Homo-oligomer: A and B are copies of this chain.
Amino acid sequence: MDGSNAGSRKLAAEAMLGRPRAVARLISLIENAVAGPDRAPDAGTALREVMAELATGTREPYRAWVIGLTGAPGVGKSTTTSMLIRTLRGRDARVGVLAVDPSSPFTGGALLGDRVRMQEHATDPDVFIRSMSSRGHLGGLAWATPQALRVLEAAGCDVILVETVGVGQAEVDIAKLADTTVVLLAPGMGDGVQAAKAGILEIADVFVVNKADREGARATVRELRNTVSLATAPWRPPVVTTVAVRGEGADELSTALDGHLAYLEESGEARRRRLARARDEIEAIALARLRSRFSGLHGDRLDALAERLLAAEIDPYTAADDLVAAVAHAER
């Protein structure tokens, strides 16, 4: 066993003991492996070794309940997350929070400065809070998020809350990872609600209308209930109202979530979702590896092909065939 391997074993062991520093260090390693918009994520040897230890050494893998929270900016995601942490801590659950920021892929954004709103839990040794930005393009979050979940799971988290800004692909990615997806709305955000309606119904397991003391709350709830009543899926998402900043609606939200968890277990859907998450994790790592091969081929074949495409000497499909053949050859 070489030095690197010994260090990896130690780091893995400490993460599995739930040591906050080891957990933080590992999630940073994962985040840093997502290099930038023009490079595929790439785990170094140390990270690979630790992740292998965790994958096969965790006592009960895939035991944690992963709850995704998504919604437009300003809807109260962090406040709701904080309220949820209080409820869960009241039940003695160990809680992980992963705040995923898809908004600033180039810089590693600052959107989640509002972790401040979760400050009350900062000193609780059974609450792990981490934010993760998506510096990487093309599947950076799809690569990193399942691995970060794996780390939090290994650290003994009973519940993991994944919070993300709810528009577009990021929202869908979270829904694919989560056991239960909570979609947050607030009254008076008309345009957004209307616009998002079609897609939202397909990812939401529970709806929360937050800031329910504001004007228009009833209309928003009514509208949502109408939308939900059209759902044909076996699970019909409940609509809960909250004023998270005052802790109002905490019990109702908790009941709705428990209801969905019971449904997941009874229907066999829990296992299906976890299998899909495992598939996505493997596929994201495999794709990243193949992508990094594209650029790594000698003489940068992709650049040469792009030049020929620009000059109308080749078509894009033939160019892609050439690239795939070169990668396959290099992998042998």
In the bound complex, do residue A317 and residue B52 qualify as a contact, i.e. CB atoms below 8 Å apart?
Answer: yes
> What residues of chain B lie closer than 8 Å to A285, measured between beta carbons?
316-317, 319-320
In the bound complex, do residue B324 and residue A202 qualify as a contact, i.e. CB atoms below 8 Å apart?
Answer: no
In the bound complex, do residue A316 and residue B111 qualify as a contact, i.e. CB atoms below 8 Å apart?
Answer: no
Binds B, one of A242-250, A254-262, A273-281: A273-281
In chain A, residues 145-195, which have Cβ atoms closer than 8 Å to a Cβ of chain B? 146-147, 150, 165, 167-170, 172, 176, 191-192, 195
Given A105-B199, A172-B106, A307-B275, A332:B328 Cβ within 8 A: yes
Q: How many Å lie between the Cα of A306 and that of B165 in the bound state?
A: 28
- Give the copy number: 2
> What residues of chain B lie closer than 8 Å to A312, measured between beta carbons?
55-58, 61
In the bound complex, do residue A317 and residue B51 qualify as a contact, i.e. CB atoms below 8 Å apart?
Answer: yes
In chain A, residues 39-58, which have Cβ atoms closer than 8 Å to a Cβ of chain B? 43, 48, 51-52, 54-58
Q: In terms of DSSP, what is the predominant structure of the interface of chain A?
A: helix
> What residues of chain B lie closer than 8 Å to A276, measured between beta carbons?
306
Name 23 A/B residue pairs within 8 A (Cβ), A-sorted: A51-B316, A62-B310, A103-B167, A103-B196, A103-B199, A106-B172, A106-B203, A107-B199, A109-B198, A111-B195, A137-B172, A138-B287, A139-B139, A146-B316, A150-B316, A165-B167, A278-B305, A278-B309, A282-B302, A285-B319, A289-B324, A290-B324, A329-B332
Interface residues of A (CB under 8 A from B): 37, 43, 48, 51-52, 54-58, 61-62, 73-74, 102-107, 109-111, 134, 137-139, 142, 146-147, 150, 165, 167-170, 172, 176, 191-192, 195-196, 198-199, 202-203, 274-276, 278-279, 281-283, 285-287, 289-291, 294, 302-303, 305-307, 309-310, 312-321, 323-325, 327-329, 331-332
